[in-house]
Chain A
Amino acid sequence: MAISISLTVNGAPISASVDPGTLLVQFLRDQLRLTGTHVGCDTAQCGACTVHLNGRAVKACNILAVQAEGANVTTIEGLAKDGALHPMQAAFKHCHGLQCGFCTPGMVMSAVSLVERRPNLTGDDVRAELDGNLCRCTGYHNIVKAVLEGAEGMKTSSAAPAAAPATA
């Protein structure tokens, strides 16, 4: 028994039919084929599936697709604009805040939401706030550095919206 839902994903209107048991992360990955959002656990602990729902970071494994009815969802695929990395993405690259890349989309989405809520952060704040995102590669050292640098970058870019071009 499928249910119809309508929502906005990365700025594009989407209408789809989903099984009521479908998680938002399954909907994004399997139906929309937005595979940048990852699944790393089954207890809502790792944060690899973090996306923005109406501007707030949520774990997409912990919410049903039908609960996103009418919502505005942003995934990691929707963060860079016209190929130019978001300042937080650029900071992760610059600070070597990623290694295998698997936790990275969730980490970046959490970090963007965190900085939007709390633009002025210390390293300890970042460590406390990133409690919901696990990384097994980096030891978090460079992630913390990247979030602080990304926070500065977000201030600058909100003052002057043209982001630096990405270098692939």
Chain B
Amino acid sequence: MNAPDSHRLVGASVERKEDYRFLTGNGQYTDDIVLPQQTYAVFLRSPYAHARIKRIDTAAAKQSPGVVAIFTGADMAADNVGGLPCGWLIHSTDGKPMNEPPHPIIAHTKVRHVGDQVALVIADSINAAKDAAELIDVDYDVLPAVVDTAHAADPGQPAVHDEVLDNVCYNWGHGDKAATDAAFARAAHVTTLDIVNNRLIPNAIEPRAVNASYSAQDDGYTLYVANQNPHVERLLMAAFVLSLPESKLRVIAPDVGGGFGSKIFLYAEDVALTWASKKIRRPVKWTAERSEAFVSDAHGRDHVTRAELALDADGKFLAMRIHTIANMGAYLSTFASSVPTILYATLLAGQYATPAIYAEVKAVFTNTVPVDAYRGAGRPEATFVVERLVETAAREMKLDPAEIRRRNFIREFPYATPVGLTYDTGDYETILARSLELADVKGFEARRQESEKNGKRRGLGYSCYIEACGLAPSNIAGALGARAGLFEVGQIRVHPTGSVTVFTGSHSHGQGHETTFAQVVADRLGIALESVEIVHGDTGRIPFGMGTYGSRSIAVGGSAIMKALDKIETKAKKIAAHLLEAAAEDIEFKDGVFRVAGTDRTKAFAEISLAAYVPHNYPLDVLEPGLEESAFYDPSNFTYPSGAYICEVEVDPETGVCNIQQFTAVDDFGNVINPMIVEGQVHGGLAQGIGQAMLERCVYDDESGQLLSGSYMDYAMPRASDLPNFTVETSKGTPCTHNPLGVKGCGEAGAIGSPPAVINAIIDALAPLGVTDLQMPATPHRVWSAIHAAKQPH
């Protein structure tokens, strides 16, 4: 972290501007905010996975000391409060729109998962609210529940929604089925795998929190909420649920303690509190307890897949055929429908020139918490399918796993995949070669023998991932069913003395935008990093925004800032031209100095900004005073980060315990603004991917629908001792060709690329014992069982 040259910040590992407040306890998260006349909310939640609500008796609870109000679904229905909308419409192969059953804010007639909201209790203190909630008497008629993804749509299963008797949300198809089937018919070899992509529970360490208030003075609401995209929250809540003008709802997402996707969505609690704040005319705060987060934050993954890869005799891929059942949970969460379709099937080409691909996805309702975008969202599921198929095919055809990949890599760009994307750039061969070198694959055989001497088994696993991020061209997303735009907004306010405030529609909840974006702006304007302030997360201060998810902040939000900077520069040059008595076309701008080309006549940036606000000598007849510009940037394509990951594990065959000896990640993120921050993003993603591969699994009881992994005592969060040091390299990339910074995005790469590398490594270690497949998470028990199952005579 060397001190960078003040005008060469981009590309330098600048320490973060936001760290001082976090390190000294001065961060301000939603739960830290207490408003005058504050009240506290508790949600009474369903203890049953599926039940009819016969009666709710709140009489005794309302008499409890400190209670301000108690609301049920009936109260909201009486007020005509709408249900939660889904932001992406998917059509089934028969042309019918997906089934969208109502998603009530508070369950009215029926509860559909353990944790479903039944009543909202508001009191003067949190303890008073909890005491009162215990006095509410709910008479339930318990119904049979369905939680199993694979069998949710089987005949005879209980219907989660009376409107959808077969529990099917949609049957979606993507790709050329006829061409794919024809390629399979002439294949020399077909690899087939059955894959369960385990359900994950997000677990940002800051639980979700909401503090809503109503002001009679202007008949408006202010909502503090732990959220990744406050403008989207405002749009969805105002326009689709509460029927408010957006101008009457200010959404502020202050410091947010991690999101990973789970804080994208419009949640029922956010709406309920906003609505209730007007009813009681006092601010209402709710902060999830962790056990509540487990049963109310949208979960991730949960796919059951049959995957097939057709190859010719040389190991060239001919076609891929996928059938996936995806669990939506009890209701359609905000972007749930897009995750196993648009964000999944479009990624099945991976890094390979597979000519034909066809995917069918059946989305099902179950009596579980809704499932939505989580840390990679569809792309980890796709990568796991592709990279497990490729590695298994290599093993079956006795090809080196690196060699089979090389034979199939896409080598010419732009490349149009058979699943609808056009990759603009990449260099898969080079990053794989670099990863092989960093991981010392040449020395692996000696290490393997050494392990074997010690009674252990050692394996090497590869994963070459692609992701599509920087969501998205709005028109393409719209054609695919998106009910929103996907651009981003940047606004640059140059102050009279030359300092700058940047308003961005992106939201930082750990990504370090206050530093990275400031590096971009300071470099471009030739001013000090300290002169740039980044403002995010407040609909009252920022023109608009689509927020942060899908690794889009620098690629889309950063590009919007660059566009606004273009406008600033154009105007500033006109001012400089006037002051320097030259033509605007003759003005050059570099390192914070405006110069008449080829002369020593110059003006500093701060002189121009001062002239803009004190326009005494200023071309007022042709130019407005002031120096402030905003831009909306809508990308022309996705960005396509890629990487080659290699995992080396040692397995104790006596116990099934697997230890990662080395994890090597080489990523192509295009240009990198702050390598330290980017590597940190990869580290975090790797921990999630390794967590999914080895530790984490959300488990529901099949009969009762109870969540069995409902606390940190039961759900295996990755801890420091579970993980190795990582070998990460991000420097040698192919810049994105269609955005001004040449950046691609890095937030999800680790979580997308790593799970198959881990599983491939464990199977490589155990292949000599006859193990050919393993589902995630590869716990010691599962690994030990796989070893012993392989030993059984067939």
Residues of B contacting A41 with CB < 8 Å?
290, 711-712
Given contacts A94-B15, A101-B27, contact A136 B258 (CB under 8 A): yes
Contact B23 A102 (CB under 8 A): no
The answer to the question of B720 belonging to the interface, with a C-beta cut-off of 8 Å to chain A, is yes
**What is the minimal beta-carbon distance from A34 to any residue of chain B, in angstroms?**
7
Residues of B contacting A45 with CB < 8 Å?
711-713, 717
Please pick, from B21, B289, B683, the residue contacting A139 in the complex, using a CB distance under 8 A: B683
The answer to the question of B454 belonging to the interface, with a C-beta cut-off of 8 Å to chain A, is no
Alpha-carbon distance A42/B510, docked complex (angstroms): 23
Residues of A contacting B721 with CB < 8 Å?
127-128, 130-131
Contact B19 A40 (CB under 8 A): no
Number of cross-chain contacts by CB at 8 Å: 190
Alpha-carbon distance A46/B25, docked complex (angstroms): 17
Interface string of B712-726 (1 = CB under 8 A from A): 110001111101011
The answer to the question of A118 belonging to the interface, with a C-beta cut-off of 8 Å to chain B, is no
The answer to the question of A36 belonging to the interface, with a C-beta cut-off of 8 Å to chain B, is yes
The answer to the question of B624 belonging to the interface, with a C-beta cut-off of 8 Å to chain A, is no
**What is the minimal beta-carbon distance from B175 to any residue of chain A, in angstroms?**
35
Please pick, from A101, A103, A144, the residue contacting B255 in the complex, using a CB distance under 8 A: A101
Stretch in contact with the other chain, from A52-60, A65-73, A85-93, A152-160: A85-93
Instruction: Output the residue of B206, B255, B718 with the most chain A CB within 10 A.
Output: B206
Alpha-carbon distance A141/B203, docked complex (angstroms): 19
Interface residues of A in 97-124 (CB under 8 A from B): 98-105, 108, 123
Given contacts A100-B256, A131-B719, A144-B725, contact A42 B205 (CB under 8 A): no
Residues of B contacting A108 with CB < 8 Å?
23
Residues of B contacting A38 with CB < 8 Å?
29, 205-206, 257
**What is the minimal beta-carbon distance from B554 to any residue of chain A, in angstroms?**
15
Contact B1 A94 (CB under 8 A): yes
Contact B23 A140 (CB under 8 A): no
Please pick, from A30, A40, A42, A89, the residue contacting B24 in the complex, using a CB distance under 8 A: A89
Given contacts A76-B24, A139-B683, A144-B720, contact A101 B711 (CB under 8 A): no
Contact B683 A43 (CB under 8 A): no
Size band of the interface chain A makes with B = 35 or more
The answer to the question of B540 belonging to the interface, with a C-beta cut-off of 8 Å to chain A, is no
Contact B206 A102 (CB under 8 A): yes
The answer to the question of A134 belonging to the interface, with a C-beta cut-off of 8 Å to chain B, is yes
Residue of A nearest to B15 (CB): A93
Residues of B contacting A166 with CB < 8 Å?
20
Residues of A contacting B22 with CB < 8 Å?
98, 101, 104-105
Residues of B contacting A168 with CB < 8 Å?
20
Q: Is the interface of B mostly helix, strand, loop or mixed?
A: loop
The answer to the question of B215 belonging to the interface, with a C-beta cut-off of 8 Å to chain A, is no
Alpha-carbon distance A166/B13, docked complex (angstroms): 18
Residues of B contacting A6 with CB < 8 Å?
none
**What is the minimal beta-carbon distance from A55 to any residue of chain B, in angstroms?**
19
The answer to the question of A9 belonging to the interface, with a C-beta cut-off of 8 Å to chain B, is no
Contact A99 B511 (CB under 8 A): yes
Given contacts A43-B711, A102-B29, A131-B720, contact A48 B205 (CB under 8 A): yes
Residues of A contacting B258 with CB < 8 Å?
99-100, 102, 136-137
Contact B24 A80 (CB under 8 A): yes
Residues of B contacting A40 with CB < 8 Å?
205-207, 257, 290
The answer to the question of A126 belonging to the interface, with a C-beta cut-off of 8 Å to chain B, is yes
Given contacts A46-B712, A102-B206, A136-B203, contact A37 B684 (CB under 8 A): no
Contact A93 B726 (CB under 8 A): no
Given contacts A38-B29, A104-B22, contact A43 B207 (CB under 8 A): no
Interface residues of B in 14-37 (CB under 8 A from A): 15-16, 18-29, 31-32, 34
The answer to the question of B558 belonging to the interface, with a C-beta cut-off of 8 Å to chain A, is no
Contact A89 B713 (CB under 8 A): no
Alpha-carbon distance A46/B686, docked complex (angstroms): 20
Alpha-carbon distance A137/B28, docked complex (angstroms): 18
Residues of A contacting B723 with CB < 8 Å?
127, 139-141
Contact A36 B26 (CB under 8 A): yes
Residues of B contacting A39 with CB < 8 Å?
31, 207, 287
Interface residues of A in 136-152 (CB under 8 A from B): 136-144
Interface residues of B in 703-739 (CB under 8 A from A): 711-713, 717-721, 723, 725-726
Residues of A contacting B683 with CB < 8 Å?
138-142
Please pick, from B29, B684, B686, the residue contacting A99 in the complex, using a CB distance under 8 A: B684
The answer to the question of B677 belonging to the interface, with a C-beta cut-off of 8 Å to chain A, is yes
Sample of 14 further A-B pairs with CB below 8 A, known A41-B290, A139-B684: A35-B31, A40-B205, A41-B711, A45-B713, A77-B24, A92-B19, A93-B19, A98-B23, A101-B19, A136-B687, A139-B685, A139-B718, A166-B20, A168-B20
Interface residues in chain B, defined as those with a beta carbon under 8 Å from any beta carbon in chain A: 1, 13, 15-16, 18-29, 31-32, 34, 127, 203-207, 255-258, 260, 287, 289-291, 509-512, 676-677, 679-681, 683-688, 711-713, 717-721, 723, 725-726, 750
Interface residues in chain A, defined as those with a beta carbon under 8 Å from any beta carbon in chain B: 19, 21, 29-30, 33-43, 45-46, 48, 75-77, 79-80, 85, 89, 92-94, 96, 98-105, 108, 123, 126-128, 130-131, 133-144, 166-168
Pairs A–B under 8 Å by Cβ, sample size 11: A35-B29, A38-B206, A40-B290, A43-B712, A96-B676, A99-B510, A100-B206, A101-B27, A105-B23, A127-B721, A135-B205
